[in-house]
Amino acid sequence: MPQLDRVLARLESGAASQIILEAEAPIRCVTPTGPQAISQQVLSAKQVLALVSELASADQKAMVAAGRGIRLVYTWNAQPWLVEQDGAAETLRVTVQQHVTHTEPHVVEHAELGSAPAPIPAPAIRRSHAAEVPFEESADTVIARESFESLLREQVRRGAADLHLRVGEPPILRLGGDLIRIEEQPILSDADVTRMVRSIMPAKNQAEFDEHWDTDFAHEITGVSRFRVNVLRDRNGPAAVIRTIASHTVTVEEMGITPEVQQLCSLTKGLVLVTGPTGSGKSTTLCALVDLINRSRHDHIITIEDPIEFVHQSKKCLITQRQVGVHTQSFKSALRAALREDPDIILVGELRDLETIAIALETAETGHLVFGTLHTSTAASTINRIVDQFPADRQDQIRVMLAESLKGVISQTLCKKIGGGRIAAREILLVNKAVSSMIREGKTVQINNIIQTQKKLGMETLNDALLNLVKSKTVDAEEAYVKSAEKKDMASKLRALGYNLDGLAADE
């Protein structure tokens, strides 16, 4: 079925008079109130022709492929629809409207269209992905989408990090690290949650959710924010967690990233890892580092993400952002292909499996700067996690590769601030000759001692970072203790400062 059949229903119902397919713009409909974008995906010229070609007969496809003088009549629901290229437009532009045989077809002048919504930069998508452009197909879908997006606007207005939708609960916000129920909202039913999440879910993700019962994708409300959406099933039915993504790229200055860590962005090759538990702000830290490179270097940056969270505009650098499942099949296939795409810097959203880690290490060794993330809590555990991914007979080789290619590990966790909000505490390992030797010899238990004795180089343990936040009255002692990975050491240091941890640290 041609993809545009799903939009023609708008013309048939009278909700719109014309469909506009234009290169470098999303699909739009001309409505009584003016042009309206009905998708978020910006089309390339190739995609416009692919969509039109599906409406053409066999002998018309050559005309469409040429991209000049396109004019054909397509029959849908027993009605004729005129598909015609606007020869006066500066870009490839094709309109679809009801075919009236006794009068000249109405052509909307270019000025009527106004300015297209700001496009989200994205690499050209193959024709087979045309099915992934989301469409609103019914009044129920429109109502569900509006209800959902009103909750997302409330999430942004309150400054909440996450929105939880659960059957049998009202919508729940994560504010300052705590879960707060929106009591004025009704309790959600299975049908409520299903309608809301499917109203914004791309077709690919709907199929993935139906098959695997969970899926991830990004959603944007223009002028409000971008969101990372995870949809799942639990014992009560469908559920969703929606995380707010900053509407602008954050900077290293805003994030309080130290000059020593910023220096990692000037490297020409090597592996830099940002680690921490889920929800610790790893993506935000990586965004700030990529933004610094984008402002200071003249290189090609390729990001491989699932999904794309922060959208980067090319500044001094050229940036190519690819989303797993939309622009590439997997992290490992995209990373392997990236080596043929003239990269200088590669960001891998998640080092998920052995093969992806192996390719990342080889890429870092062969003259590229690679950034990646892992779900580990300390620098030493990060190195152990990578080595342990490999069979025993390869682990010595991997230690040697890590010793040569690893340049830095930033392990972070988010803490509740006194007075509200959250702040990141970061353990910083900068790899020098001493650290390389420890990695090569498998003596990772000694890395913490090196970090403690090399503070003048910009290194810092997680406990020291937490302790500094306590000393500056930014974070409570109890919060610092809970977030510590080395609790015995942390309890000792807090007691030395006069804090009473009785009960909380009874096991120490």
pLDDT at 115: 40
Confidence of residue 124 (pLDDT cuts 50, 70, 90): very low
d(CA 458, CA 438) in angstroms, rounded, equals 19
112, pLDDT greater than 50:
no
Strand partners, 487: none
Chain centroid to CA 292? 18
The CATH number for 139-245, chosen from 3.30.450.90, 1.10.357.10, 3.40.109.10, 3.40.50.2300, is: 3.30.450.90
Report the mean per-residue pLDDT for the chain: 87
Q: Determine which helix (DSSP H) or strand (DSSP E) holds 37, and give its type and residue range.
A: strand 34-37
Q: What is the CATH number of domain 5-125?
A: 3.30.450.90
Tell me which range, 30-34, 327-331, 426-430, is most confidently predicted by mean pLDDT.
426-430
- What tokens does 141 get? 């879908």
Least trusted range by pLDDT, from 121-135, 180-194, 395-409: 121-135
d(CA 441, CA 388) in angstroms, rounded, equals 15
DSSP annotation string for 458-488 = T-B-HHHHHHHHHHTTSS-HHHHHHH-SSHH
- Note the pLDDT tens digit of each residue in 326-346: 889 899 999 999 999 999 999
pLDDT at 15: 76
pLDDT at 24: 86
DSSP single-letter state for residue 89: S
Tell me the mean pLDDT in the region 108-130. Answer: 37
Cβ atoms of 22 and 89 within 8 Å: the answer is yes
126, pLDDT greater than 60:
no
d(CA 29, CA 38) in angstroms, rounded, equals 7
Give percent of the chain above pLDDT 90: 62
62, pLDDT greater than 80:
yes
Q: What letters, b where the CB count within 10 A reaches 16 and e where it falls short, cover 201-238? A: bbbbbbebbeeeeebbbbbbbeeebbbbbbbeeeeebb
Tell me the mean pLDDT in the region 66-90. Answer: 86
122, pLDDT greater than 90:
no
Q: What letters, b where the CB count within 10 A reaches 16 and e where it falls short, cover 387-407? A: bebbeeeeeeebbebbbbbbb
pLDDT at 113: 37
118, pLDDT greater than 80:
no
- Note the pLDDT tens digit of each residue in 281-339: 999 999 999 999 999 999 999 999 988 888 899 999 999 999 888 889 899 999 999 99
pLDDT at 132: 38
d(CA 487, CA 506) in angstroms, rounded, equals 11
Coil, helix or strand for 175? strand
pLDDT at 86: 86
- Note the pLDDT tens digit of each residue in 374-414: 999 999 999 999 999 999 999 999 999 999 999 999 999 99
Cβ atoms of 125 and 34 within 8 Å: the answer is no
pLDDT at 465: 96
* Maximum CA extent, the chain: 91
pTM of the model: 0.68
User: Same fold for the domain at 5-125 and the one at 139-245?
Assistant: yes
- Note the pLDDT tens digit of each residue in 144-170: 889 999 999 999 999 999 999 999 999
DSSP single-letter state for residue 128: G
Query: Which residue ranges make up each domain of the chain?
Result: 5-125, 139-245, 252-462
Tell me the mean pLDDT in the region 491-496. Answer: 92
Give the position of tokens 């040429």.
66
Least trusted range by pLDDT, from 120-129, 197-206, 266-275: 120-129
pLDDT at 101: 59
d(CA 412, CA 484) in angstroms, rounded, equals 10
Confidence of residue 142 (pLDDT cuts 50, 70, 90): confident
Count of other CB atoms within 10 angstroms of residue 175: 16
Cβ atoms of 310 and 246 within 8 Å: the answer is yes
Tell me the mean pLDDT in the region 213-220. Answer: 91
Coil, helix or strand for 162? strand
pLDDT at 107: 41
Q: What is the CATH number of domain 252-462?
A: 3.40.50.300
Least trusted range by pLDDT, from 29-43, 144-158, 243-257, 324-338: 29-43
- The better pLDDT of the pair 299, 11 is held by 299
d(CA 155, CA 174) in angstroms, rounded, equals 9
Chain centroid to CA 13? 36
